[in-house]
Chains A and B, each alone.
Chain A
Amino acid sequence: MKIKNNDKAPKVSLDYFYQWWFKVILCVTFIFLYAPILVLIIFSFNDSRRNITWRGFTFKYYEKAALNDGLIDAFINSLTIGIFNTLGSLILGILTALLLWRFRFPFKAVYEGIILLPVVMPEICIGVALLVFFNQIGWANNLPWPLSLSKITFAHILFSFPFVAIIIRARLATFNLEQEEAAFDLGASPGQVFTNVFLPHIRPALIVSGLIAFTLSLDDFVITFFTSGPDTITVPIKIYSMVRFSVTPEVNAASTILLLITLCAAGIALWVHRAKISRIGKL
């Protein structure tokens, strides 16, 4: 669309949206972000083993992926780790956030820095460190499923709970302490104050941070690579090993399914959040 350019008309800041170059930047950004993913999805339907040129539409490789026992095991492993990681890092993250928000103690700033270190630490360092650590303490390697996943789960909690802590801490900063006092004053017990006043306030942060923890865990490769064994393959590692043999559309199909799970999780979280809000207010 062409915009008439009147040099004399003063531009208000919000008017930039209507400038052609602004639209170009917006489009290019979206293309950069999502074109590769779009290509991945399209080529998962490609009827070609080598998957270089488009040869026609097929669901064949989804069927193949669905019948690939190794891939399905990897999915089950990934989801299990993801769920336990989410729970673990939520609990640890809430406690950390509460500690940092509510209490004053010596070396608080140092403590805060150390807690947040895993966010900036290179994953490869954490991976190697964990490998050495688990070897040194002699963590049993041949535990039955799902205990065999504990090593990876702990590793994932390690790097995802700081994200939870940061998000919840930020949300807590906006909490009006008088609300808590008001609830007490109106006769609520500490438990009732927590569930009726405190929890509703941090609920959005809980949903968002839980989702982030789940996603971080689901697609982590580096740290998982160093802590997984032959029996504990996750989806990213399985896809990597599939790619090493050949890039068939089956890899695309597996990736698309992973993407779908992530999107569904996000969608459900949003929906739960909305539903909760609309249900409040009915006595």
Chain B
Amino acid sequence: MKNPIIKIEGITKKFGIKNALEEIDLSIYEGEFFAIVGPSGCGKTTLLRVLAGFEVPDSGLLFIDGENMRSIPPNRRPLNIVFQSYALFPHMTVLDNIAFGLKVTGVPIKECYQRVKMLLKLVKLSGLDHRFPHQLSGGQLQRVALARALVKRPKVLLLDEPLSALDAKLRNEMRQELVRLQKSMGITFILVTHDQQEALSTADRIAVMNNGRIKQVASPTNLYESPSNKFVAGFIGSINLIKCEVRQIEGELCAVTTGLTKDLFSIKGKNEISVGQSYLMGVRPEKIQLTKLTDIDQYDNKLAGIINNITYLGRSSMYHVKVSGDENIVMNVSMSHSDRSENIDLCIGESVLMHWTAGSALLLEDHDS
């Protein structure tokens, strides 16, 4: 593996009595597109500000490219930020905004000019050099903010919720644009966002944060397919969780009971599970199949229920199914319209059978560690 460009060791930061960051350990590698996701107030922005040098951690160490950042002020750190509000200078033109970081550090005017021109081309803003920020659209402002940070050729680019002010279509475009820029420039990007979709679609690796702690660091696929805990499972995509108890372990599979039916469910288990303990069984909505109640004996992992509501989502529909046996449990089942031809007549109030394969269910710790 490459050397970590950023190494965070045990960083803790308190605001009053609230712990914004608790014992954060994290390594981010050169040339990586790294995302930090979490709900608002989880400490992701604080972590970003610690990296940039705007917050001083109470304890812990931060190394950027092997150098301890303890006494290095923000203006001498080899990283740049794209701010959520863009924070462009309103009294400067696009050209001056982008050139600012070069001019203040004494780069000769001619070189300044060439580098700015190059960046303008790279972010597709050529021709808008002499516009003022108030004359630009949201997407253009975003590009200027990107160019202004990238023109410094930082080792790491920090992006603080960069796409949150854009509309859905533009956001999608900019996501791809970000990935393109990152790959072509080879700079390490750290994207901070509350939008798990954004993180999944752009990043090579993702750190999920909650309450000032990192819950899991993994690739998008791993994060979605095998979340290590309840929080990550629920935050990245949606998931149906049912309380269960492990009865038997047979090689890779383990059998659990739920108390909803007499049936045993089989789940691909993890290493450190023990018989008799309570866990959560998690099934993603799109991994569940719906059929009519008639062919009940055909499947292994099955639950009967009544369709409570149907939400039409265009490409698919979400069926909200009340589980027979416990009226309070509503399972969400997502069915894409292309493969539900046989279920076309499913409607509200109908009794259905939900079933899934052993490999598509997850066994998660009940408590949130």
Known: A187-B75, A280-B96, A283-B112. A181 touches B87 (CB 8 A): yes
The interface on chain B, measured as residues whose beta carbon lies within 8 A of the other chain's beta carbons, has a size of 35
Is residue A12 within 8 Å, beta carbon to beta carbon, of the partner chain?
no
Q: From residue 6 to 43 of chain B, which have CB atoms closer than 8 A to chain A?
A: none
Q: From residue 235 to 283 of chain A, which have CB atoms closer than 8 A to chain B?
A: 277, 280-281, 283
| Alpha-carbon gap, A179 to B90, bound state (A) | 9
Interface residues on A, range: 20 to 34
Is residue A178 within 8 Å, beta carbon to beta carbon, of the partner chain?
yes
Is residue A128 within 8 Å, beta carbon to beta carbon, of the partner chain?
no
Q: Which residues of B contact A216 (CB under 8 A)?
A: none
Is residue B312 within 8 Å, beta carbon to beta carbon, of the partner chain?
no
Is residue B80 within 8 Å, beta carbon to beta carbon, of the partner chain?
yes
Q: Which residues of A contact B80 (CB under 8 A)?
A: 185-186
State the Cβ distance, A121 to closest chain B Cβ, in Å.
37
Is residue A18 within 8 Å, beta carbon to beta carbon, of the partner chain?
no
Known: A187-B101, A196-B104. A182 touches B83 (CB 8 A): yes
Is residue A188 within 8 Å, beta carbon to beta carbon, of the partner chain?
yes
Is residue B132 within 8 Å, beta carbon to beta carbon, of the partner chain?
yes
* Closest residue on chain B to residue A188 by CB atoms: B104
Q: Which residues of A contact B292 (CB under 8 A)?
A: none
Q: Which residues of B contact A184 (CB under 8 A)?
A: 54, 73-75
Known: A187-B76, A196-B104. A182 touches B95 (CB 8 A): no
B91 & A188 in contact (Cβ 8 Å cutoff)? no
A-B pair number, CB within 8 angstroms? 82
Digit string of B72-115 for contact with A (CB within 8 Å is 1, else 0)? 01111101110111011111110110011100110001001100
Is residue B270 within 8 Å, beta carbon to beta carbon, of the partner chain?
no
A179 & B104 in contact (Cβ 8 Å cutoff)? no
Q: Which residues of B contact A6 (CB under 8 A)?
A: none
Q: Which residues of B contact A188 (CB under 8 A)?
A: 75, 100-101, 104
* Closest residue on chain A to residue B107 by CB atoms: A187
Q: Pick from A176, A192, A277, A281: contact of B104, CB below 8 A.
A: A192
B85 & A176 in contact (Cβ 8 Å cutoff)? yes
Q: Which residues of A contact B93 (CB under 8 A)?
A: 280-281
Q: Which residues of B contact A201 (CB under 8 A)?
A: 90-91
* Closest residue on chain A to residue B84 by CB atoms: A178
State the Cβ distance, A178 to closest chain B Cβ, in Å.
4
Is residue B52 within 8 Å, beta carbon to beta carbon, of the partner chain?
yes
State the Cβ distance, A280 to closest chain B Cβ, in Å.
6
Is residue B148 within 8 Å, beta carbon to beta carbon, of the partner chain?
yes
Q: From residue 175 to 211 of chain A, which have CB atoms closer than 8 A to chain B?
A: 176, 178-179, 181-189, 192, 196-197, 200-201
Is residue B230 within 8 Å, beta carbon to beta carbon, of the partner chain?
no
Q: Which residues of A contact B104 (CB under 8 A)?
A: 183, 186-189, 192, 196
* Closest residue on chain B to residue A179 by CB atoms: B87
State the Cβ distance, B251 to closest chain A Cβ, in Å.
54
| Alpha-carbon gap, A70 to B76, bound state (A) | 60
Q: From residue 303 to 336 of chain B, which have CB atoms closer than 8 A to chain A?
A: none
Digit string of A153-183 for contact with B (CB within 8 Å is 1, else 0)? 0000000000000000000000010110111
B81 & A179 in contact (Cβ 8 Å cutoff)? no
* Closest residue on chain A to residue B130 by CB atoms: A281
B75 & A196 in contact (Cβ 8 Å cutoff)? no
B91 & A181 in contact (Cβ 8 Å cutoff)? no
Is residue B152 within 8 Å, beta carbon to beta carbon, of the partner chain?
yes
Q: Which residues of A contact B76 (CB under 8 A)?
A: 187
State the Cβ distance, A276 to closest chain B Cβ, in Å.
9
A283 & B95 in contact (Cβ 8 Å cutoff)? yes
Of listed B52, B80, B87, B88, residue having the most chain A CB within 10 A = B87
| Alpha-carbon gap, A56 to B76, bound state (A) | 74
Digit string of A60-81 for contact with B (CB within 8 Å is 1, else 0)? 0000000000000000000000
| Alpha-carbon gap, A192 to B73, bound state (A) | 15
| Alpha-carbon gap, A277 to B134, bound state (A) | 14
B87 & A186 in contact (Cβ 8 Å cutoff)? no
B87 & A187 in contact (Cβ 8 Å cutoff)? no
Q: Which residues of A contact B95 (CB under 8 A)?
A: 281, 283
Q: Which residues of B contact A189 (CB under 8 A)?
A: 75, 104
| Alpha-carbon gap, A197 to B52, bound state (A) | 19
Q: Which residues of B contact A178 (CB under 8 A)?
A: 83-85, 87
| Alpha-carbon gap, A283 to B104, bound state (A) | 13
* Closest residue on chain A to residue B100 by CB atoms: A186
Known: A192-B104, A196-B104, A283-B96. A185 touches B91 (CB 8 A): no
| Alpha-carbon gap, A179 to B133, bound state (A) | 13
Known: A179-B87, A281-B93. A185 touches B75 (CB 8 A): yes
| Alpha-carbon gap, A184 to B109, bound state (A) | 20
State the Cβ distance, A273 to closest chain B Cβ, in Å.
12
| Alpha-carbon gap, A231 to B100, bound state (A) | 53
A residues near B, CB below 8 A? 176, 178-179, 181-189, 192, 196-197, 200-201, 277, 280-281, 283
Top 6 A-B residue pairs of the complex, sorted by shortest distance between their CB atoms:
A186-B101, A178-B87, A281-B93, A182-B87, A188-B104, A200-B91
Q: List 23 A-B contacts (CB under 8 A).
A: A178-B83, A178-B84, A179-B87, A181-B54, A181-B74, A181-B87, A185-B52, A185-B77, A186-B75, A186-B148, A186-B152, A187-B75, A187-B104, A187-B152, A188-B101, A192-B104, A196-B89, A196-B104, A197-B89, A200-B89, A280-B93, A281-B132, A283-B112
B residues near A, CB below 8 A? 52, 54, 73-77, 79-81, 83-85, 87-93, 95-96, 99-101, 104-105, 109, 112-113, 130, 132, 148-149, 152
With contacts A181-B74, A182-B83, A187-B76 known, what are 14 further pairs, Cβ within 8 A? Answer: A176-B85, A178-B85, A178-B87, A181-B81, A182-B89, A182-B148, A183-B100, A184-B54, A184-B73, A186-B101, A187-B152, A188-B101, A192-B104, A196-B104
